[in-house]
Every structure is written in structure tokens, then in C-alpha cells.
């Protein structure tokens, strides 16, 4: 039996091949296909419409990304595209595997760390689900001291190092995923409410640009699949609008819980692009834009997906 990581890589390669086949015949509406010529629409060729008739009007677009109407209205969580069995697994805490990570996070919340033996509970209170209610809805959020946005995971790592004096937690480590799941699940059911700090503008703009940038050997952008083709099927699987409503989430494909960064890395592999290095600001920029794009949708952490 292949290990989950190997299975994920194999599935990404298969989806990449399916993407190439599915997009091979995609042309501009009314345009004739030219043999040997690229036939994929550029992501920037279809800006969000601002008129009731559906006609695009670039001149009427507000200046900053968070002021624009989110693409893909009406927006929907990928939960709505899942089969009944997967939805039932997510809804039932006794069946949802992600709650195992939340339990581990609850133990870490009460555990002393660092030379002074400080616990998360010492500052924030013993009941994390009450104390952290609403916190995850606004991340990534601007950190004035650092002059840049931090994801929820980065904020947890910052607290651990600076407040507890403990060793840092590695990205994607089980310990970090547990604490992040605990904090995010405290906001389960609350609407996503992104940080509105205007100082986030440059990061939001770069995040949107990355979303629309064509990448990899397949020369595809995120927007081409998840804005233009959302609701269609790829290799029998519904193409979601890609709203990050449930991270960290448990994926049956992985047989594990994973972060948004892990999922984005899979997508980049699927279009045969080189993923950004760990710690690259691109991950935060994309996450920031995606959370702005999902504003108002309820958090589902820990979500379950195929």
C-alpha cells in the first residue's frame, strides 16, 4: 500500500494530466481554435463584473481588492459539493477525525512550556473554546510591530517563542496543527471577518495577483479553475470555489489533517509548478486574499474533504 504522501503526489499528477486534457479545447467565446496555439484564457482576461447585465467594467472596479465584489457569487463552501457521507463525517464530532487534533491541541493548551513553565491557559484562560471565540475569523491579521500580516499559525508560533520562551513549532508539525485546530474550531459556525486594516493593501494586492498568475507547465492560474470553472468536474470531482473555510482540515486523500499551505502546495504540484519555499511571504499573501474572498462564509474547522 502506498503511503498517504505518495498517494497524494500520484493523485496530483493524475489531476494535472486531467487538467491538461480538460483545458486543451478551452477557447475564448466565439474564437476559433488555432492549431498549435495556446488556447487557455488568461486569468486577467475576465475581471469581475460590476453591472447587472454581466458586462465587465474595469473602470468601475474599486481600487483595493477587499472593496471589490467577491468573484463567484453566490459563494458556496466546498462542503455543499460533498457527498452525504463526507458531510455527515464533518458534522459529527465523534466521526470527524479532525477532532483528534483538537484534543491534542487542548492538552497542549494546558501544558507548561519554556523555562518558566508558562501555559497558554495562564494568559488566555482555561477554556480555549470560550476565550478564542471569534479569533480565527480575522486571520491573517496585521502585526503592527512586525509591519506585516501573520497567519493564525504564525501568531501561535510567535506567542510560544516570545511569551512562553519555548522552542518554536515547525510548520505543519502535529503540535502546531493541534493548537491551530483548537483555536480555529472555537469559531466554528462564525462568519469569516477579515482584518480590515488598510496597511494590508500591498499584501492583498500581491495575493490577488498570485491568484490570477498563470503558473507551471500547464500554464494555469488558480482563478481559471476556481473562479471560471467552479462547479464543473475534473476527473469526476467537483471543482470548488476554493474558499478556505475549514483549515486546518482533514482530507481523506491525505489520511491526515493539513493546513491551507499544504493544500496550496498540492495545487501548485497539480499544475506542475514549483511550490514556494517554506516561509515565503507568498503563502501569507495568498491566504490573505482567499480569506477576504471568503468573507461572510462560516468557518468549519476542522472540515473534512475527500
Residues carrying an active site annotation = 267
119 among annotated binding-site residues: no
Identify the three-state secondary structure at position 227. coil
> CA-CA distance, 125 to 108, in Å (whole number)?
13
> CA-CA distance, 49 to 182, in Å (whole number)?
38
124 among annotated binding-site residues: yes
Taking each helix axis from N to C end, the angle separating 281-293 and 260-270, rounded to the nearest 10 degrees, works out to 100
Across-strand partners of 191? 298
102 among annotated binding-site residues: no
75 among annotated binding-site residues: no
145 among annotated binding-site residues: no
> CA-CA distance, 113 to 164, in Å (whole number)?
6
> CA-CA distance, 78 to 94, in Å (whole number)?
21
> CA-CA distance, 99 to 95, in Å (whole number)?
8
Q: Which of 142, 79, 169 is nearest to 288 (CA)?
A: 142
222 among annotated binding-site residues: yes
188 among annotated binding-site residues: no
225 among annotated binding-site residues: yes
E strand map for the chain: 141-143, 148-150, 233-234, 237-238, 249-251, 256-258, 304-305
243 among annotated binding-site residues: no
Q: Which of 193, 201, 281 is nearest to 245 (CA)?
A: 193
Q: Which of 170, 149, 173, 169 is nearest to 281 (CA)?
A: 149
> CA-CA distance, 48 to 57, in Å (whole number)?
8
CB neighbour burial string for 209-235, b if at least 16 within 10 angstroms, e if fewer: ebbbebbbebbbbbbbbbbbbbeeebe
Residues that constitute the known binding site: 120, 123-124, 159, 222, 225-226, 263, 267
Amino acid at each position: 500500500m502506498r503511503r498517504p504522501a505518495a498517494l497524494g503526489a500520484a493523485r496530483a499528477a493524475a489531476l494535472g494530466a486531467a487538467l491538461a486534457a480538460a483545458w486543451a479545447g478551452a477557447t475564448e467565446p466565439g474564437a476559433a481554435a488555432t492549431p498549435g496555439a495556446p488556447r487557455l484564457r488568461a486569468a486577467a482576461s475576465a475581471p469581475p463584473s460590476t453591472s447587472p447585465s454581466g458586462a465587465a467594467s474595469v473602470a468601475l472596479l474599486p481600487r483595493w481588492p477587499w472593496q471589490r465584489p467577491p468573484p463567484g457569487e453566490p459563494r458556496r463552501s466546498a462542503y455543499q459539493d460533498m457527498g452525504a457521507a463526507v458531510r455527515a463525517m464533518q458534522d459529527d464530532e465523534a466521526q470527524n477525525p479532525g477532532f483528534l487534533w483538537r484534543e491534542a491541541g487542548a492538552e497542549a493548551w494546558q501544558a507548561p512550556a519554556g523555562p518558566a513553565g508558562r501555559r497558554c491557559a495562564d494568559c488566555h484562560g482555561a477554556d480555549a473554546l470560550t476565550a478564542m471565540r471569534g479569533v480565527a475569523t480575522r486571520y491573517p491579521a496585521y502585526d503592527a510591530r512586525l509591519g506585516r500580516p501573520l497567519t493564525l499559525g504564525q501568531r501561535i508560533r510567535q506567542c510560544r517563542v516570545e511569551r512562553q520562551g519555548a522552542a518554536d513549532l515547525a510548520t505543519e508539525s502535529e503540535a502546531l496543527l493541534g493548537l491551530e485546530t483548537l483555536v480555529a474550531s472555537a469559531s466554528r459556525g462564525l462568519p469569516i471577518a477579515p482584518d480590515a486594516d488598510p496597511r494590508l493593501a500591498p499584501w492583498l494586492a500581491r495575493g490577488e495577483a498570485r491568484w490570477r498568475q498563470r503558473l507551471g507547465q500547464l500554464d494555469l492560474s488558480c482563478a481559471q479553475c476556481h473562479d471560471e470553472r467552479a462547479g464543473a468536474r475534473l476527473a469526476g470531482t467537483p471543482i470548488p470555489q476554493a474558499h478556505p473555510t475549514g483549515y486546518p482540515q482533514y482530507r481523506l486523500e491525505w489520511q491526515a489533517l493539513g493546513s491551507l499551505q499544504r493544500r496550496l502546495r498540492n495545487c501548485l504540484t497539480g499544475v506542475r509548478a514549483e511550490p514556494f519555499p517554506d516561509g515565503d511571504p507568498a503563502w501569507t499573501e495568498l491566504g490573505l486574499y482567499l480569506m477576504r474572498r471568503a468573507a461572510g462564509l462560516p468557518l468549519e474547522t476542522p472540515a473534512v474533504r475527500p
